[in-house]
Amino acid sequence: MLSRLPKKLWLALLAVPIFLFLGKLPFQKWDEGRIAINTYEMVESGDLLGVTFGGNPEFWNTKPGLLHWAQYGSVYVFGFNEFGIRFPSAMAGLLTCIVIFTFLQTELKNHWIAIISAFILVGFSGFIGIHSARTCEYDALLSLFTTLAAISFYRAVEYSNRYLYLFFLFISLAALTKGIASLMFLPPFLLFALFRKKVVEILTSKSLYLGLFGFLLLVGSYYLGREHVQPGYLNAVYQNELGGRFGETIEDHQGSFFFYFVTLKNSIPFVSLFVLPIGIILGLKSKDERVKTVSLFSTVLFFSFTFILGLAGTKLDWYFTPVYPFVAILVSIGIKEAYAFLALRTDPRTIRFRIARVVFLVILCVIPYIQAIDRAVSPKYSHQSYGIGDYLSNALHEESAPMSFDVLWDGYDAQHRIYVMLLQDQGHTIGIASPKDIQLNERYMVSQKHLHEYITQHYTFQKEEIDKYVTIYTLESYVE
């Protein structure tokens, strides 16, 4: 069915749930607002090396600058808006689908199952969703490079050590995207080489050491360069990425060792979750050596990476994003092997068999695909938390009449601050205020329930209701 579609058509179909209404969702609190501000300040300053927040060196978010460089180029083309800042992540998501399609088509010589794998990946809410390919965060770009690195290592083990050059190139790009997180795939790679009895061959390869030298030179140059322009950066990286997020629980992001198995359950369709163990078992037992090897590789990466993440102190759903391409591969192998198993016991030419195959593909691919489109059209988020973002986003795009008020927000405010900065560029008199900044004769936009209550209890005011949650108050006097 899908295999008969022209290549350009199925590519366009894959792109729809990734790019559709990409700019509709207002900038999210974690971590879009901050990342967007990092890129905004990079564009304003022209400094491509020193990432900043509020004009100061960015040591809370210590990720390297590759994503920001990609966003810099994107906003130059599309403008500084939600679509422009998210475009690199969305493109990385689409390219990852193409990469696993190409990999399976090359290795398994099966065009049909290669396309199925790409559509399966698009149906994963954990991959095409918030914190991944539809927001301006690091994980989709990281996944693209770790997937390319993994496939390059696979080919280095199976075909030629010269693929190690590509492996180190892509792992370098992954490191320049999200730092230490890119190196978590290294133990699974070593384990796969051990299973294939290629460890000695890899370790004695000239390509390994030349590639490693290139990695250290490229990545090391960035880290040392940033330390030079922002002294203290290396210590911040150590505290945040080595001693912090892995070794300790940061910001109460905790969970049990099985946290990421629950994440998997919540982030892929149930039918894919059901087919996944079938793909692992039948794939590892397959009589086709190519299928068996690809299954071994994907299984090792899946379990090893999940195990490593399970040991980490800080746990967040989106840390699992680089694993989804290999889950999609295993699910597609499960379909292939189950079909081959049934074809030996039932005539595949019968109407019943053909109908059953179509129904199963509809359940596995078409329904999740439609659900992915629905998530793009109607993204779910808290209107109380993001009502202000909605209003400011609409004002930004419509280039509305001059506005004059401060956004009153209690707590972390990067998701609003980026809009304030962009609207100021358009000439609006708008700012950010915290509860301690409240003054009489000023106008404040409010959506948080406790701030509504505080103002109504302590001030007389005029008000302009924007919607159910958002109100602009003009404070007149204190309540006696």
Q: Where are the beta strands (DSSP E) in 26-158?
A: 52-53, 56-57
**Residue 476 reports pLDDT greater than 90:** yes
Which residue from 201, 185, 204, 184 is spatially nearest to 193, judged by alpha carbons? 201
Within this chain, do residues 166 and 77 fall inside the same structural domain, yes or no?
A: yes
Residue 480 pLDDT class (50, 70, 90 cuts): confident
pLDDT attached to residue 393: 94
pLDDT reported for residue 322 = 94
Tally of domains within the chain: 2
pLDDT band at 254 (very low <50, low <70, confident <90, very high): low
Structure confidence by residue, pLDDT tens digits, 425-448: 999 999 999 999 999 999 999 999
How far apart are the C-alpha atoms of 14 and 409, rounded to whole Å? 39
One domain, residues 301 and 448: no
How high is the pLDDT of residue 276?
Answer: 95
Of 350 and 88, the one with more pLDDT: 88
What pLDDT score does 129 carry?
86
Answer whether 292's CB lies under 8 Å from 286's CB. yes
Same domain (yes/no): 182, 119: yes
Please check the confidence at residue 260 and state whether its pLDDT lies above 60: yes
CB atoms within 10 A of CB 49: 14
* pLDDT category of residue 185 using cuts at 50, 70 and 90: confident
Query: Does residue 349 surpass a pLDDT of 80?
Result: no
- Residue 247 pLDDT > 70, yes or no? no
Same domain, 182 and 218: yes
- Out of 341, 361, 377, a domain closes at 377
- 159 with 274, same domain: the answer is yes
Same domain for 253 and 389: no
Q: How high does pLDDT run on average in the chain?
A: 91
- 213 and 65 part of one domain: yes
pLDDT surpasses 60 at 251: no
Residue 88 banded pLDDT, cuts 50, 70, 90: very high
Do 332 and 397 share a structural domain? no
Paired tokens of 285: 């037992």
Whether 120 has a pLDDT exceeding 90, the answer reads: yes
424: β partners: none
pTM: 0.93
Q: What's the domain range around 391?
A: 383-478
What pLDDT, in 10s, does the model give residues 356-387? 778 888 888 899 999 999 999 988 877 777 89
Asked if residue 142 has pLDDT above 90, the reply is yes
Q: What angle do CA 263, 117, 276 make, to 5 degrees?
A: 45
Residues 95 and 118 in one domain: yes
Q: Is the pLDDT of residue 22 over 90?
A: yes
Same domain, 409 and 370: no
Within 13 A of 25's CA, how many CA atoms are on the CB side?
Answer: 26
| Residue 265 token pair | 């359950």
Contact criterion met (CB below 8 Å) for 464 and 382: no
Across the range 320-333, mean pLDDT stands at 96
Question: Over 60: is that where the pLDDT of 244 sits?
Answer: no
Query: 330, 353, 377 — which closes off a domain?
Result: 377
DSSP string, 406-432: EEE-SS--HHHHHHHHHHHHTT-EEEE
Residue 250, pLDDT above cutoff 60: no
Task: Please say which residue of 355, 377, 399 terminates a domain.
Answer: 377
pLDDT at 418: 97
Alpha carbon distance 389, 384 (integer Å) = 10
248, pLDDT greater than 60: no
Q: Which pLDDT does position 386 carry in this prediction?
A: 86
76 CB-near residues (< 8 Å, 6+ apart):
none
Q: Are residues 347 and 412 part of one domain?
A: no
Confidence of residue 4 (pLDDT cuts 50, 70, 90): low
Asked if 251 and 392 sit in the same domain, the reply is: no
> Contact 192/297 with Cβ under 8 angstroms?
yes
